[in-house]
Structure 1
Amino acid sequence: MRSLRNCISSLLLVVPLFLLYLPQVQALHESDVGVVDWHKELIGVPLAGALATAPIFHRVGETSVILTATGNNVLAALNPGNGSIVWRHVHEAEDRIAGFYKHGNLVATLSGPGGSTLRTYDVLKGTLMLEKRLHSPESGHLSEPHHFGKFVTFSPDGQYAYVLTNGHTISKINSLTGKVDWIWSSEDKTSLIIYSKVVVAPTAIYVIGVSKSIASFTLHAVALSPVEGDILSTRDFPSSISDAFTGFLTLSGSITTAPQVVWFEEGSIKSIVLTAILNVKVTTVNHSKFERILDVGVSGQAHFVAVHTDGSARVMGSQFDRPGLKSLGEFTKSNDMVEPIYAAGVDEHDQVYVSRVYWAPSIMKAKADVLSTRSATEKSLTSIEIPFDTRTHGILGHVTMDGSASSGTVVRTLIMTSTGAIQLWKRGDLQWTREEGLAATVVAEFVELPEQVQTSVRGDGEESFLSRVVRQIGDAQNFPQYLVNFARRFATGSYASPSSPATASSSEPLARDTFGLRQVVVAATLFGKVYGIDSGNGNILWSRVMGLGWAGEVGGQIQPMKLFVIKAVGDPDRPNDEGGSGPQVALVAQRRADNSLVDTVLFHIDPLTGEEIARQVRDDDEELKQLTEEENVLQGIDVVSGPVVEAYLMAAGDSKMVVMLDEYLQVYLYPDNPTTKAAFAKHASTLHFPLRANTPNGQRRLVGHQVALNPSLSDRYVGYSTWTLSLPEGEDVKTIIPAAKGPVASIGKVLGNRTTLYKYLNPRLFVLLTAPHSAGPAASGSTGKKGEKPAPKTCGVYIVDSAKGTVVYRATLPPVDGISCDVKAVLADNWLVYHYYDDEFSGEGKTKGWKMVSVELYEGKGIDEKTMSSDMSSFKRESADVLSIEQSYIFPHAITALATTSTKFGITTKDLIVATQTDQIQSIHRRLLNPRRPNRKVTAEEQEEFLIPYEPVLFYDPKRVLSHGYQVANAQRIITTPTVLESTSLVFVYGLDMFLTRVAPSNTFDVLSENFNKVQLVLTVSALAAAIIFTKPMVRRKRLREKWYQ
């Protein structure tokens, strides 16, 4: 009997734990992949500033790819046929790509400081063939541009790679095994001589560089033995090169011909032929005056472009049979030409094609003049018109091309635009476009869609009775079809479900779906473009270029700062609202001109169409008005003549406004009208905000502010300091993280013993992250006062009340390698989670690795203490009475971003969404991060709270990986938004890639399951109805008989 009772008690303990883990084992079904989520794989905007990283066509046999390195530190190969990614390799942030160098079926890269790491890949498959560390990153020489002083070239058979690193070291390396045959290093390792080119010849390996002189650079060359690496000869050539990066180039053709070095010097072009003893004379090109020389990527075929001062240009090449250069073709001067770009390519027979691509204002198209030089006597110039859309993609940025021997002219032209797009054109036809600017997204927000308007009813009150009857009869003609469809849906169960695709016809206007799963993601990038993305499938609904305004005359760029939804679906209409009744967003950006002037501009946009709701154009400037309307470029509104230090969205009653603070802490509002001014004046006293301020020793501190109006001095509210947070010595302000906003369904947590812990819900809280001060004694390792030890270097996590600077919670963390702090944190309601790396593993019970800490804040100093923190003033004594409960866990991975889910009413349990450095998006259940998990066997009362025993490790659970098979690389931010379903939240992740999915932390409790048997329900109800109808007369007769016998 006792054993039976023990068995029953064991079952009572196991069953609740099993039920607790049920929500955690909900995995994404294979059939839902690509339906409830989508993944946009990107490579980033190509680094077109140098040939070592710019896109280039490369052909292996009959297959060709486009190779490129990008600003997101990615090496990638694209399919020229459709623009898809053939393969890509994402490098770590500290392993910056210096350049890639192709040869046959291999492509080599140098990365890291000074080119510390060499890798070779298979061109067509992207397979890593070799990875070799050439020197330690600490000994690498930093240079700008990063590719300078680094180079890789191959022997003709591809067996050996000659690698230049640090600007002075050459290594001969077997490209397959990585074996180093020899290393040569320059005796002068200072910055006086820097080598940047390597040329392979049968008799010598030539290392070309420049030596610094008083006013210019002098060409320097070294000839090395290919077998032993010994110096054969070295020489400085009489030269005066003004640009060490682009002022000279090397030409090499057939292995039987000697290579040459060409440089530009004071309007003329000079060259030398390289020999093993370097005893050659300098020759000069006898043509009109030149402006510059350009390496267009065909120096390996002994071709380059020389530009004259009058705007014309020549294709130059080696003569091979004797020293000097010859002209292979000419591009004449054109008056209908804006900033020409020169590019070149080769066909399958290694024949060279050179093009000049430019914008032609007379035809409002781009033109490509293509020069083909098949032989000394056969030359042809072809002109191709390219209908490039400058309204959508900005201006031409960089061009590369591919040739075709069969057609005798260019068949493919690859164009990079100023907005970050990559386009491939076949003659004048656009083949595909990749919006790689999305990899540089700075800010993004969800915008809910309005419901679809089914009918339009006259609202003038003049509709007659007869007209109303006729209209209603017409509306009722679809009622039979509606009944048929309803019956079919009910019988077959073909209702919309949370796992249904949230898509709609492209011909229909944007409208909300049944559960609000379809929304618009508005994203702004560093390349001056705003996108509207369909959350249902990731398609781009619209895109707009942000205009430079006055800075367009001198050049500049737009840097987005903040994006706010200033009007959402359901918000009341504002008086004199130009945007109508639909949703609206406001993008605050800084316009930085090339002449160093900075101002702040605001773009007021309709998120459904991308149209500009309000713009600032002078009434007398009719030409600019017409231009902006035709080009559909966002002009924006100049709101601040200078930079802004911070911007906020303030909700005051029914009004939403953007509050901006300039460098003098003056307040600017948008919209700036009597309604918003009155609303702001009413609530100005409740506005508290922290700002970073510098101290005389360079350390930043945190200062709280409020705003006040002094009519005698200014007509604007001005911020003034109210408190200063004193940080420990050596700590510096790193990041300010605002608390996540959202509804709170419960203000307390009822425990198993029927007592309550009331949540600390102070709406003025924010998270402060600190790091060691780089200029302080703690960071430098020196002592402050004589005989005193320096303060230890620490990282800090603070929860601060913005009203008076009270520190509600504080934690001190160790820095990574004693220098940097890689801490990620999020605060939602009364729940703080932060993640950091702990390398202090000395002592019992400590370990080295990534840790995640969960903290919950409650009112008072114990249970059943209620202080009404959500409504209480921060200046009351009770506001500082906070109970913090925390627990730390070991997390298996580093993370790059984290956020919590958000729902419509805040009833659903919040899950933690994290992006790991393993390129996965993972969901962690709130119960696993409950800091009250007991470090023992749970009691009966704790079982009622669904508490589980504490385990120090948050094990990796593949069922909780939201991205399943997708590799979501370099995620930088996670944003979540509610849907119409309380159970479901949308999660959007952006960084290098973009990823969107749906999560239901507490399962879809508000929707019937998809496998719910609706047919059985209909049959059951029908059978019950039939039974009632059949038995009702029987019951009536029975009661009648009973009355006769009573």
Structure 2
Amino acid sequence: MVRLRVFAFVVSLLVWHVEFVSSLYANQAGVIDWHHQYIGTPKTSFFHKFVSRGAYVLVASDRNVLASINVRSGNLDWRQVFDENENILAFKGYESVAISVSKRDHDYIVRSWESHSGFMLWENRIKDVGVMNSNPSIEDDDAPGVEVVFAADNLGVLALLEGTTVVNLNFTDGNQIWRSDITDSSTVLYKLVEFEQKVYGVGLKKSIRSYTIEVNTYNISNGILKTQSLSSKIDHIKDMIVLGGTTQNGFIIWKEENNMRVNRLDTTVIEQAPLEALYGTVIPSFANANGKLELHDLNLESRTEFLVQVPTNEGNTAAVFKVDPVSGRLLVLYDFEEKPENSVYSATFDKSERLIISRSRITAEDVAKVDIIAPEPRLVLGSYEMNYSLNSYGDLKKSVLDVDSKATGYRMLVISADGSMHFWKDHEVVWKSEESLAHTIEAEFLDLPERKLWTQEVDELAEQPEEAETISPLARYIRRVRTHIEQLKDLPAYLIAYAQRFITGDYEVEPIQLARKSKISLHRDTFGFRKLLIFVTRTKLIALDTNNKGQIVWSRYFGNDIFEFNKIFVVRSSTVKYPPLVVAIGTQKDLKERIVTRLFRLNALTGENFIPTENKEHFPSELSIPIIIKRILKLPIEEPDERTHIIALIDEELKARSLKGYHVENNVQPFDVTEVWSFGFPEGESIAAIGHRPQHEKVASLGRVLGDRSVLYKYLNPHLIAVATLSTSTNPTSLNVYLIDTVKGSILHHAIHENVGSSQPVRIAQIENLVVYHFWSENFNEKGYVVVVYELYESETPDQRFESPVFTSFAHERPYVSAQAYMFPYGVNAIGITTTKHGIATREFLFALDTNQVFGISKRILDPRRPQRALTSEDKEEMLIPYDPAIPDNKKWVLSYHLSIAGIKNIITSPALLESTSLVLVYGLDLWFTREAPSKTFDVLSEDFSKGTLLITIFGLILGILITKPMVRKKKVNSRWY
């Protein structure tokens, strides 16, 4: 009997663990989820051609990513994502390899990559850079200070680091051949040029009132240094460029007072051209110049062509110059016409070494124009107009030009102001990549309106107030009948779509007639899987459709009016005749250079400013408030009289030492706020993480039923937030966790964890009566990652509740906190919790691991009430699991299967119409959307269920009955006769 009970208990445990498996069938991968890979805004990009694979674009981005992009499709062939604290400073290709230079902490790392595969060939970490020149006198964020040059003759890689150190590395294995450090703190190098076994480092030396040019010459074999100063006077590094090298001598071109001067490297000879001679006589378009000349390096390897751009009275213009390699004099190759639009330029050369240069500009709101020019012999090779949305992408910022492999056309990679990439070939847009999503600050789910009645799309009873008073009931009835008759043309398509959905059982299939109204078909589907994802990036808002693999519905660029967004709220969901609204919040400098907060109220279905027509005293669509907000918490509390909200503001995001609650006095401009409460943390404590309950969460049960049928009632405080702080005043560092009521600022619970690793981030999440947080512990007996879960109840005693029948934050009762800690196998970048329509399905905690995967753990595993003793019959009745101090590293719990989701910042969830399913969005550098069913899809028929088979079976039974019924009746009659 005992053995039978033990066997039954083991079987019950196995059955329970089956529910915790979150694995995915192979045929579902990529069907219920989609993954968008991004790289960020390119800092360095160039075309790299392979003999057997054609041309690709190699990119180094501001998100510290190296990537190879297929020019035909825009897909990533390979991608290398660096750590956030390792900045890529230089990236350059040569033959079949590419060299990157990055900086991590105080070390520079030079790596060699195989261009077509992205495999790392070698790595060299260079330490103590700048130690001998620890106080450079020249500081400029725009100056590179890092440069890579290939010495083809001796197979070397020359790297300039921090403007003070030059190293020569072996091209094959990366071993250091020699190194030279500048000891003079008044000199900083900016450019390297290699020619005839010499390496020239060109930089600036600080003088009393300006800078002078200094050239360091290195022997490429042993690094022996020779220094030369040129007679010069430069105000800024942007006034100087260095050209040439490799196959011909290099030249320094700089602007000094009213002259452009040229020096051939390794000589003291200086040629100069007066600027006055250029204005109007040599270059006619410069006649109306009214600003400062700007020198632009066209990045043409060893060539000596460059661009001079200047603002004019009517806009801007530019001219192409060339340094004659023999005489060293300046030659004007081409004079661009003066244009009112801002222009970007790029250049390349074709197979015959002919220089090709492009000028790109926005000529209309939806049109970009590209001119392709050969300066010698001054031919316009092509002029194309491209489709380009200024409202969605902003102005053009940068372009990279290339001649295709067959030399029959031109292709160009264009970077727009929002950070996106556009690939143009001749007169068509081949592809574009919305790289601004790599800088997502926040995202929100938006429920789409229900598609029930035609009146929700075309208001059949739309009447002006004057018309409503005069129209007769008969005329209104005739209008309704006419509208219904118009709908009959879609009846056949609807019947076909209905039959198709009925037979296949796929209720996500859109009816055929919806394809005819693509512009007005933004509505939810049968199961509520279709929603809009509203993203706020640094300078724009973007809406994606969850059902169409994340297709962009609308986007809007705000860069001309606002510097940076930091928050977005959905302030109204969809209702009949009223569109959903979102409010985007950002910061901007006013005319007095003061930072103000700006709010934009938008129609969430179109992205346009929302201005209601009914209410003349409406809330403005754009609003400026003269305050600085670092973090905003929209609290679910509203005063019944004035209907004003309580908001909590944090002084300094993630480093504040206090929390404050404010009360908004009025709802029109100017806004007045009154401080309600203030909570200061002890000296040495700073906020590390904050968690708060979702705004629209649903709670299915007010209590937890125990094994003896008694109930522990949940503590459901809508004003509760969880705050984690790190105390650096203590040694070792301690972690403090506060549960705070935001109505009156009181502490409901406080826990301290000693000996916590301050270098690892703290993550915290909250939902219903649950709080979960993750941190690194340095304790000897539990060193590693720890996850702690709280469960809050009104009382420790079952069946006992607070005396007040209505919850109020001003009551004196405090919750009972049941807590438990578990060792966790990974570091965590973000924590999310599944939400369902009614909150009936089991909660699942979603952890964004530092391995770029998403790990799902059922609430039954992270349960603070798991007993640390043998299970009793009541524990078994409650379906508890024995306590295990370590969370198992079960690969079946990885929701993202084999996908690598880079740079995860946050996880948000939203309920579908099915109670079993929660929609999950993971965003950071990449985007990943999926559906998760923590308790399995108990409210949906399985995929192998066939309605067609069921119908055939029913019809077969009916047919069998009809055939056999006369036979049975005849048999009964015959049995009576015989």
- Please classify the TM superposition score into its range, dividing by the shorter chain length: 0.7 to 0.9
Counterpart in the other structure of 1:629:
none
SS of 1:438 mapped into structure 2: helix
Is residue 109 of structure 1 aligned with residue 106 of structure 2?
no
Deviation of 1:500 after TM superposition, in Å, equals 11
Deviation of 1:93 after TM superposition, in Å, equals 0.9
Q: Letter of the aligned partner of 1:218 in structure 2?
A: T
Counterpart in the other structure of 2:268:
280
Is residue 495 of structure 1 aligned with residue 449 of structure 2?
no
Q: Letter of the aligned partner of 2:940 in structure 1?
A: V
SS of 1:462 mapped into structure 2: helix
Alignment of 1:229-248 (within 5 A): 229-231=223-225, 233-244=226-237, 246-248=238-240
Provide the rounded CA distance (Å) in 2 between the counterparts of 1:347 and 1:583: 53
Counterpart in the other structure of 2:568:
563
The 1:206–1:887 alpha-carbon spacing in structure 2 relative to 1, beyond 3 Å, is same
Counterpart in the other structure of 2:335:
331
Provide the rounded CA distance (Å) in 2 between the counterparts of 1:817 and 1:468: 69
Deviation of 1:945 after TM superposition, in Å, equals 2.1
Counterpart in the other structure of 2:87:
96
Match of 2:782 among 832, 835, 846: 846
SS of 2:16 mapped into structure 1: helix
CA contact (8 A) 2:600 2:622 kept: yes
Counterpart in the other structure of 1:876:
811
Q: Letter of the aligned partner of 1:234 in structure 2?
A: T
CA contact (8 A) 2:789 2:863 kept: yes
Deviation of 1:930 after TM superposition, in Å, equals 0.8
Could you tell me the percent identity over the aligned residues? 28
Counterpart in the other structure of 2:975:
none
Deviation of 1:404 after TM superposition, in Å, equals 5.4
Deviation of 1:473 after TM superposition, in Å, equals 10
Provide the rounded CA distance (Å) in 1 between the counterparts of 2:274 and 2:302: 24
Alignment of 1:995-1034 (within 5 A): 995-1012=928-945, 1014=947
Counterpart in the other structure of 1:207:
201
Deviation of 1:423 after TM superposition, in Å, equals 1.2
Counterpart in the other structure of 2:288:
none
Provide the rounded CA distance (Å) in 1 between the counterparts of 2:9 and 2:851: 36
Counterpart in the other structure of 1:60:
50
Counterpart in the other structure of 1:1044:
none
Counterpart in the other structure of 1:438:
437
Deviation of 1:419 after TM superposition, in Å, equals 2.3
Match of 2:682 among 701, 712, 728: 728
CA contact (8 A) 2:610 2:621 kept: no
SS of 2:410 mapped into structure 1: strand
Q: Letter of the aligned partner of 1:314 in structure 2?
A: A
Deviation of 1:432 after TM superposition, in Å, equals 1.6
Deviation of 1:518 after TM superposition, in Å, equals 0.9
The 1:364–1:284 alpha-carbon spacing in structure 2 relative to 1, beyond 3 Å, is farther
Deviation of 1:283 after TM superposition, in Å, equals 2.3
Is residue 823 of structure 1 aligned with residue 762 of structure 2?
yes
Deviation of 1:559 after TM superposition, in Å, equals 2.6
CA contact (8 A) 1:502 1:518 kept: no
Deviation of 1:996 after TM superposition, in Å, equals 0.6
Provide the rounded CA distance (Å) in 1 between the counterparts of 2:510 and 2:736: 44
Provide the rounded CA distance (Å) in 2 between the counterparts of 1:1004 and 1:340: 55
Provide the rounded CA distance (Å) in 1 between the counterparts of 2:189 and 2:782: 49
Deviates more, 1:160-169 or 1:896-905: 160-169
Deviations, residues 582-612 of structure 1 (Å, cap 9, x unaligned) = 3332323333458624444433333233343
Is residue 527 of structure 1 aligned with residue 539 of structure 2?
yes
Counterpart in the other structure of 2:124:
132
Q: Give the TM-score, by structure 2 length.
A: 0.85
The 1:20–1:499 alpha-carbon spacing in structure 2 relative to 1, beyond 3 Å, is farther
Deviation of 1:31 after TM superposition, in Å, equals 1.5
Provide the rounded CA distance (Å) in 2 between the counterparts of 1:516 and 1:20: 29
Counterpart in the other structure of 1:119:
111
Counterpart in the other structure of 1:160:
156
Q: Letter of the aligned partner of 2:714 in structure 1?
A: K
Alignment gaps of 5+ in structure 2: 279-291, 462-471, 973-978
SS of 2:896 mapped into structure 1: coil
Deviations, residues 626-664 of structure 1 (Å, cap 9, x unaligned) = xxxxxxxxx9422535545665657789xxxxxxxxxxx
Provide the rounded CA distance (Å) in 1 between the counterparts of 2:669 and 2:157: 69
CA contact (8 A) 2:710 2:798 kept: yes
Q: Letter of the aligned partner of 1:236 in structure 2?
A: S
Provide the rounded CA distance (Å) in 2 between the counterparts of 1:115 and 1:807: 45
Counterpart in the other structure of 1:420:
419
Match of 2:302 among 282, 295, 300: 300
SS of 1:737 mapped into structure 2: strand
Deviation of 1:908 after TM superposition, in Å, equals 0.9
Provide the rounded CA distance (Å) in 2 between the counterparts of 1:699 and 1:474: 61
Is residue 798 of structure 1 aligned with residue 738 of structure 2?
yes
Alignment of 1:912-923 (within 5 A): 912-923=845-856
How many corresponding residue pairs?
924
Alignment gaps of 5+ in structure 1: 48-52, 552-556, 574-579, 620-634, 654-678, 779-789, 1039-1046
CA contact (8 A) 2:637 2:719 kept: no
SS of 1:987 mapped into structure 2: strand
CA contact (8 A) 2:632 2:647 kept: no
The 1:428–1:707 alpha-carbon spacing in structure 2 relative to 1, beyond 3 Å, is closer
SS of 1:721 mapped into structure 2: strand
The 1:464–1:285 alpha-carbon spacing in structure 2 relative to 1, beyond 3 Å, is closer
CA contact (8 A) 1:559 1:592 kept: no
Deviations, residues 776-819 of structure 1 (Å, cap 9, x unaligned) = xx3xxxxxxxxxxx66543332211112222223333468765x
Provide the rounded CA distance (Å) in 2 between the counterparts of 1:708 and 1:583: 26
The 1:260–1:959 alpha-carbon spacing in structure 2 relative to 1, beyond 3 Å, is same
Match of 1:586 among 553, 565, 583: 583
Match of 2:622 among 615, 618, 637: 637
Q: Letter of the aligned partner of 2:650 in structure 1?
A: R
Alignment of 1:590-989 (within 5 A): 590-592=587-589, 596-614=593-611, 636-641=621-626, 643=628, 681-684=641-644, 687-693=645-651, 700-707=657-664, 718-741=672-695, 742-772=697-727, 778=729, 793-813=733-753, 818=758, 820=759, 822-838=761-777, 840-842=778-780, 845-847=781-783, 849-867=784-802, 871-878=806-813, 880=814, 882-989=815-922
Match of 2:141 among 136, 141, 145: 145
Alignment of 1:396-415 (within 5 A): 396-403=396-403, 411-415=410-414
Q: Letter of the aligned partner of 2:735 in structure 1?
A: C
Provide the rounded CA distance (Å) in 1 between the counterparts of 2:417 and 2:960: 74
Deviation of 1:558 after TM superposition, in Å, equals 4.2
CA contact (8 A) 2:194 2:245 kept: no
The 1:856–1:333 alpha-carbon spacing in structure 2 relative to 1, beyond 3 Å, is same
Q: Letter of the aligned partner of 1:338 in structure 2?
A: E
Provide the rounded CA distance (Å) in 1 between the counterparts of 2:235 and 2:307: 18
The 1:795–1:249 alpha-carbon spacing in structure 2 relative to 1, beyond 3 Å, is farther
Superposition CA RMSD, Å: 3.9
The 1:99–1:799 alpha-carbon spacing in structure 2 relative to 1, beyond 3 Å, is same
SS of 2:9 mapped into structure 1: helix
Provide the rounded CA distance (Å) in 2 between the counterparts of 1:498 and 1:355: 47
Provide the rounded CA distance (Å) in 1 between the counterparts of 2:153 and 2:948: 72
Alignment of 1:479-518 (within 5 A): 492=503, 494-496=504-506, 505=515, 507-508=517-518, 509-518=521-530
CA contact (8 A) 1:706 1:721 kept: yes
CA contact (8 A) 2:635 2:646 kept: no
Provide the rounded CA distance (Å) in 2 between the counterparts of 1:19 and 1:947: 13
Provide the rounded CA distance (Å) in 1 between the counterparts of 2:586 and 2:513: 32
Counterpart in the other structure of 1:177:
173
Deviations, residues 739-783 of structure 1 (Å, cap 9, x unaligned) = 22311111111122333222111111012132357xxxx3xxxxx
Counterpart in the other structure of 1:228:
222
Provide the rounded CA distance (Å) in 2 between the counterparts of 1:424 and 1:715: 45
Q: Letter of the aligned partner of 1:824 in structure 2?
A: R
SS of 1:258 mapped into structure 2: strand
Provide the rounded CA distance (Å) in 1 between the counterparts of 2:26 and 2:591: 51
Counterpart in the other structure of 1:622:
none
Deviation of 1:940 after TM superposition, in Å, equals 2.8
Q: Letter of the aligned partner of 2:240 in structure 1?
A: F
Alignment of 1:430-469 (within 5 A): 430-453=429-452, 455=454, 461-462=473-474
